[in-house]
Amino acid sequence: MASAAASMASAASVAAAASTGVTVTAPGTASASPEAMASVAAAVAAAAAAAGTDSADPDTPGEDGGARCPGNEQYAAEQPTGIRADVAAAWLIVAAAGEAQGITVCLADGKRSRAQQQATYDDYVVQYGQAMADQYVLPPEKSAHVLGLAVDVQPYAAYTWLEGTRGQLGFCRIYDNEAWHFEYDGQFADNGCPARLPHPNA
């Protein structure tokens, strides 16, 4: 279960994240000594490996409502409930690394069940029309949120900081039109981020 796996992010790993010296220098960039970035990357990799990669249940819902993002209350601050265990463990360390640099890092949207994803799509169709919905929301069978691999990060300072790590911490921005949407893959730390897609249905 993701919540149990998330607790595997040890105090030592979070402490390593907190002492990184990773800072925001400009949108889309992050600055840190190679040693500092390597320390956080190693903590992320260790916690994710300890948690395992068992598939998330596509019908387990994520948190809906609840806490708000401190100082940015238009966004949620979800717990990584239901997302894949390694993603949850990695997320906790990455969030701690950002917070240690004075950056409020909120999980605005994480796990969605198939029903939640379908409801999100249907809501977009009603509000914005089918064409716009297809630019921003995938059907449940294609969604990384349903698979427990995706996190929507807020506010702006948080997602620009995370993008600036360029996959070294396992999270990459995936779409041109969703600056806040990141997906986790441990191989990103070694291989870098894949080329971004214009939008989810590209």
pLDDT of residue 185: 97
The percent of residues above 70 in pLDDT, for the chain, comes to 84
Residues 62, 147 contacting (CB under 8 angstroms): no
pLDDT of 6 > 80? The answer is no
Token readout for 184 is 């986790």
pLDDT of residue 33: 75
pLDDT of residue 30: 53
Is 201 inside a domain boundary? no
pLDDT of 117 > 60? The answer is yes
DSSP tag of 36: H
- The residue ranking higher by pLDDT, 158 or 18, is 158
pLDDT of residue 32: 62
pLDDT band at 116 (very low <50, low <70, confident <90, very high): very high
**What pLDDT, in 10s, does the model give residues 12-59?**
344 444 444 444 333 444 556 778 878 899 999 999 999 999 999 999
Rounded Cα gap, residues 77 and 74, in angstroms:
10
The model carries a pTM of 0.85
Token readout for 43 is 């903590």
pLDDT band at 75 (very low <50, low <70, confident <90, very high): very high
Bond from prior residue into 155 cis (ω within 30 degrees of 0): yes
Is 199 inside a domain boundary? no
Residues 113, 81 contacting (CB under 8 angstroms): no
The strand pair at 178-184 and 171-175 is best described as: antiparallel
The percent of residues above 90 in pLDDT, for the chain, comes to 76
Q: Which amino acid is at 15?
A: A
Total structural domains in the chain? 1
Residues spanned by the domain of 96? 2-191
Give strand pairing partners of 171: 184
Is 63 inside a domain boundary? yes
**What pLDDT, in 10s, does the model give residues 128-152?**
999 999 999 999 999 999 999 999 9
Is 62 inside a domain boundary? yes
The pLDDT of 72-89, averaged and rounded, is: 95
Is 200 inside a domain boundary? no
Q: Which amino acid is at 44?
A: V
Is 197 inside a domain boundary? no
Which segments of 18-105 are extended strands (E)? 23-26, 29-31, 68-69, 72-76
Is 125 inside a domain boundary? yes
The CATH number assigned to the domain holding 146 equals 3.30.1380.10
